[in-house]
Amino acid sequence: MLDQIGTIRSQFTAHETLDGRIDQIFEAMKAIGFEALIYDYTPVPYDLDGAIMIPSLLKLRNISEDMHDYWFDRGYFRIDPVQQVALRTSTPFFWNYDADADTLIRRFMTEDTAPVARYLSERDMSTGVTVPVHMPRGDYATVTGVRFGGNREFERHALRYIADFNLLAHVFHETAYSLFDPTTFSAGKARLTERERECLRHSAEGLSAKEISRIIDRSVPTVVMHLNAAAKKLGARNRTQAVVRATHYRLLEDRPSYNL
């Protein structure tokens, strides 16, 4: 098994770019019967109101680019039954958006999720397998293989190869994660400058603006300016709320590492 993992990892790391590694897993997925790929990464599963966060990264292969618009701008990601299941399990699962199909997503299919089912049905993408990848810090990714016009025969085929796909997806994500752009690790639309993050980190430790000014060698008004700017970007009423929100969205962390 370790030899197999090492071999798969070396196939991915032979490519120096994220897109190259995504192309590599797509080719490997096609060999086991999938025809399209969806790969997404979300730094924080839920927002402060408990709604599913929109991912910071979505990569597609052999899928219409309008999926970005629907899943990001129109918020389909938040109501997608596949994501509802992926957040609740760490094992790969087969799904089918046919209303009569008895798969794990069925319990999450309602009138509210009908737009998702309709979008996928219109594009002949109603069946597939999703591998959830949950990481120790709470962030997660999903690697999804889609079969166009999938039928009962494909379900049997997919379940036969689901363990292979699971291993492939986890090793792929490990190698892809190492090439993420730093902004990918920040959830939401708020983008803090490094100085704003630094001041908030010190504030989170209980330091006053005067104490922070001494540490970063800037005037007190400058520190206050950075803290106020950060609070405004985060939609916070005060400095304490700004720290809470920045912490929730992982904006105060250094870039994480991910090693098996």
Handedness of CA 78, 122, 141, 161 (dihedral sign): positive
How many percent of the chain have pLDDT more than 90?
Answer: 72
Answer yes or no: is pLDDT of 117 > 60. Answer: yes
pLDDT at residue number 189: 63
Contacts of residue 202, defined as CB under 8 A and 6 or more positions apart, other chains included, come to 211, 212, 215, 216
Mean residue pLDDT of the chain comes to 91
pLDDT at 215 over 50: yes
At the second CATH level, the architecture of 2-185 is 2-Layer Sandwich (3.30)
How far is the C-alpha of 235 from the C-alpha of 230, rounded, in Å? Answer: 9
Computed from CA positions of residues 10, 16, 22, 26, in that sequence, does the dihedral angle turn out positive or negative?
Answer: negative
Write the pLDDT tens digit of every residue in 66-108.
999 999 889 999 999 999 999 999 999 999 998 888 999 999 9
> What pLDDT is recorded for position 2?
47
Q: What is the pLDDT of residue 192?
A: 86
H-run or E-run covering 128: strand 127-134
pTM for the whole thing? Answer: 0.84
pLDDT in tens, 26-61: 999 999 999 999 999 999 998 888 889 999 999 999
**Tens digit of each residue's pLDDT (9 = 90 or more) over 238-260:** 999 999 988 888 888 765 555 54
**174 falls in which pLDDT band (50, 70, 90)?**
very high
Give the DSSP letter of residue 9.
H
In this structure, CATH architecture of domain 194-248: Orthogonal Bundle (1.10)
Q: How far apart are CA 28 and CA 228, in angstroms?
A: 49
| 51 within 8 A of 78, measured Cβ to Cβ | yes
Cα atoms found within 13 Å of the Cα of residue 52, Cβ hemisphere only: 22
Pick the more confident residue, 163 or 183: 163
What pLDDT sits at residue 158? 87
Can you give the residue ranges of every domain in the chain?
A: 2-185, 194-248
Coil vs helix vs strand at 101 = coil
The pLDDT of residue 191 is: 78
The model's pLDDT over 59-72, given as tens digits with 9 standing for 90+, comes to: 999 999 899 999 98
